[in-house]
């Protein structure tokens, strides 16, 4: 029920006017919302709940009050007709009006494109999850259907019907759905769901793959017939020489490259978008004999906002790396941009670089993540030793 009230707080402002507000009651809850209109007590009609003609703005105020009340009442009727759970916030907030759960998910995905350092990748990732949800139950999933059973059924769908997906992908999709349903509950569109009760899908960890120093040298020196591949080769090699994530690399700017006159070195510095704190200080002149600086020099004349002038998606890069992999025939399952990061971490470990430095360069928040590369390096060293025949 929606009512119009005058001077609910029984307090007048400095001009002696009282506030006109709305009272909305729903499911035992009540919310008061300001109309932002103030009138003198003598100009308010309590019986008709409107401003008297004695106020020179009575027509404007009464029309605005009537239109707002009518809009919210119509919105309440519309929400009731869907049978979905809704709150007072859903009635009064136009920004949170969604057609169904898929509509909500799509708008959440767009939000992730607009915020954070890895916006596009996050958007693409959630788009894939949404496509999977549509395959699961179609495009018109009502909010009332989103509950614990819905999430568990989606989990079973991934396990039983999507044999083509890796366990890691299935696990990520399930976690993403939990995130989306929690966001939906935070917006008070659905009731909170105890998502912790749903078992995660365990992904079998595979050994991290990486290129060797020899393979990097082969990649550096090959002369591709298709010169378009040179750009993608350079992106990949930059990842191998710096350990940067794709989102950080593709957004590198000239101001990220700092020359230090004290030691004559060139450093890469990256700043967090939100906190403005420096999260990396990488000595480019020291790592891999400064090879990445030669790559940057190739594009210096084409510098615009970013060091790499052609802004491409990680999907586009990976498609071209697949072609490069077919040419090079490296002994790895796939040549993807993320493999460059694994290559950097593993080669740093093989060179016995201190783990805390590798952590700093790779911008890991947890040293445990860095130690995985140390473990992989030791495995590779053991394999090399197995091939050696020591004399008696």
**Whether residue 106 sits in one domain with residue 141:** yes
**Whether residue 112 sits in one domain with residue 31:** no
In a domain, 365, yes or no: yes
Q: Which of 70, 76, 6, 57 is nearest to 35 (CA)?
A: 6
**Whether residue 363 sits in one domain with residue 221:** yes
Residues 6+ apart with CB under 8 A from 44: 6, 7, 18, 20, 51, 52
Helices marked H in the chain: 58-82, 88-92, 101-114, 119-137, 148-161, 167-186, 213-221, 228-242, 246-250, 291-298, 314-328, 337-350, 355-362, 367-386
C-alpha span between 315 and 233 (Å, rounded): 14
143-171 pLDDT, tens digit each: 889 999 999 999 999 999 998 888 888 99
**Whether residue 293 sits in one domain with residue 150:** no
Please check whether residue 54 is in contact with residue 43, taking contact to mean a CB–CB distance below 8 angstroms: yes
Find the domain containing 234 and state its range. Answer: 213-386
Domain count of the fold of the chain: 3
**Whether residue 336 sits in one domain with residue 267:** yes
CATH number, residue 160? 1.10.150
In a domain, 41, yes or no: yes
In a domain, 391, yes or no: no
pLDDT of residue 95: 46
Q: Which of 228, 231, 235 is nearest to 252 (CA)?
A: 235
- Say which DSSP state 12 is in: -
**Whether residue 108 sits in one domain with residue 84:** no
**Whether residue 237 sits in one domain with residue 161:** no
In a domain, 254, yes or no: yes
pLDDT of residue 71: 86
pLDDT of residue 387: 56
Number of neighbouring beta carbons within 10 Å of residue 141: 19
**In this structure, what token pair is assigned to residue 267?**
């450093």
| The domain boundary residue, chosen from 68, 92, 116 | 92
**Whether residue 231 sits in one domain with residue 137:** no
**Whether residue 172 sits in one domain with residue 316:** no
C-alpha span between 320 and 183 (Å, rounded): 36
pLDDT of residue 375: 60
| The domain boundary residue, chosen from 52, 70, 92 | 92
**Whether residue 147 sits in one domain with residue 277:** no
C-alpha span between 274 and 289 (Å, rounded): 33
In a domain, 267, yes or no: yes
Question: What angle, rounded to 10 degrees, do the helices at 314-328 and 228-242 form?
Answer: 100
What's the distance, Cα to Cα, between the start and end of the chain in Å?
93
CATH number, residue 330? 1.10.443.10
In a domain, 203, yes or no: no
C-alpha span between 162 and 169 (Å, rounded): 10
- Say which DSSP state 45 is in: E
pLDDT of residue 386: 59
| The domain boundary residue, chosen from 197, 228, 254 | 197
C-alpha span between 303 and 160 (Å, rounded): 50
C-alpha span between 192 and 141 (Å, rounded): 17
**Whether residue 269 sits in one domain with residue 348:** yes
Beta bridge partners of 259: 266
**Whether residue 22 sits in one domain with residue 83:** yes
In a domain, 204, yes or no: no
pLDDT of residue 368: 80
Please check whether residue 373 is in contact with residue 348, taking contact to mean a CB–CB distance below 8 angstroms: yes
In a domain, 208, yes or no: no
Segments in the chain below pLDDT 70: 84-85, 93-97, 112-121, 204-206, 272-278, 303-304, 373-392
């Amino acid at each position: 029920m929606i009512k119009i009230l005058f001077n609910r707080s029984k307090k007048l402002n400095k001009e002696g006017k009282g506030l006109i507000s709305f009272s909305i009651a729903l499911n035992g809850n009540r919310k008061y919302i300001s109309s932002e209109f103030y009138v003198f007590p003598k100009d308010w009609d309590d019986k008709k709940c409107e401003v008297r003609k004695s106020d020179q703005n009575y027509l404007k105020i009464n029309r605005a009050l009537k239109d707002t009340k009518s809009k919210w009442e119509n919105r309440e009727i519309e929400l009731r007709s869907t049978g979905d759970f809704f709150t007072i916030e859903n009635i009064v907030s136009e920004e949170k009006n969604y057609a169904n759960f898929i509509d909500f998910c799509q708008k959440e995905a767009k939000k992730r494109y607009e915020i954070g350092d890895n916006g596009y990748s996050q958007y693409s990732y959630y788009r894939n999850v949404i496509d999977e949800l549509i395959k699961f139950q179609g495009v018109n999933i009502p909010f009332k259907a989103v509950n614990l059973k819905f999430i568990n059924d989606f989990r079973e769908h991934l396990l039983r019907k999507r044999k083509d997906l890796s366990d890691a992908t299935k696990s990520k999709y399930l976690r993403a759905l939990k995130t989306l349903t929690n966001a939906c509950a935070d917006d008070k569109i659905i009731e909170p769901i105890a998502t912790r009760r749903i078992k995660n899908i365990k992904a079998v960890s595979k050994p991290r793959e990486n290129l060797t120093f020899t393979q990097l040298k082969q990649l550096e020196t090959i002369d591709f017939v298709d010169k378009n591949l040179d750009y993608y080769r350079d992106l990949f090699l930059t990842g191998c020489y710096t350990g940067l994530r794709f989102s950080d690399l593709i957004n590198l700017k000239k101001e990220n490259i700092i020359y230090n006159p004290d030691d004559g070195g060139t450093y890469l510095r990256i700043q967090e978008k939100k906190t403005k704190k420096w999260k990396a200080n990488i000595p480019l002149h020291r790592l891999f004999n400064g090879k990445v600086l030669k790559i940057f020099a190739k594009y210096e004349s084409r510098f615009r906002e970013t060091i790499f002038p052609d802004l491409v998606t990680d999907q586009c890069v990976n498609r071209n790396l697949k072609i490069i992999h077919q040419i090079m025939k490296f002994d790895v399952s796939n040549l993807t941009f993320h493999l460059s990061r694994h290559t950097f971490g593993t080669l740093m470990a093989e060179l016995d670089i201190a783990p805390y430095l590798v952590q700093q360069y790779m911008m890991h928040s947890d040293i445990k993540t860095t130690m995985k590369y140390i473990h992989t390096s030791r495995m590779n060293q053991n394999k090399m030793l197995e091939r050696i025949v020591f004399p008696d």
